[in-house]
Amino acid sequence: MNVNPTKLELVDGTRLRITWSDSQVRDYAFRELRDACPCATCREKRKAPPAPSLFPIVTEAEMRPLRITAMKPVGNYAYSIEFSDGHNTGIFTLESLRELGAVVHP
């Protein structure tokens, strides 16, 4: 990986914006990052077929708007992201962050 984030900012309280060292800018919706969480638990969950249910249970935590509450560098190759639902075990590599999100500035 030869590009690095040079700037991290929150935009409109709904998404994360990363400026990269090659001047590319990408926006990430909090929900997109949460749904792409690379930790083992979330990977297993995504693999499992959705359980059929007439009355899906939505917890209070899921109803609240999701936010990023903390983001910390892990070595020089990844970020650990903590979400407002308390989930903090996902380590997002720079490679994965370059594939997620939407390009705002190429």
Binding site for Zn ion (CB under 5 A): 37, 39, 42, 90
CB of 46 to Zn ion, least distance (A): 10
Q: Which is nearer to Zn ion, 4 or 69 (CB)?
A: 69
CB of 44 to Zn ion, least distance (A): 9
CB of 35 to Zn ion, least distance (A): 10
In the chain, the amino acid numbered 48 is A
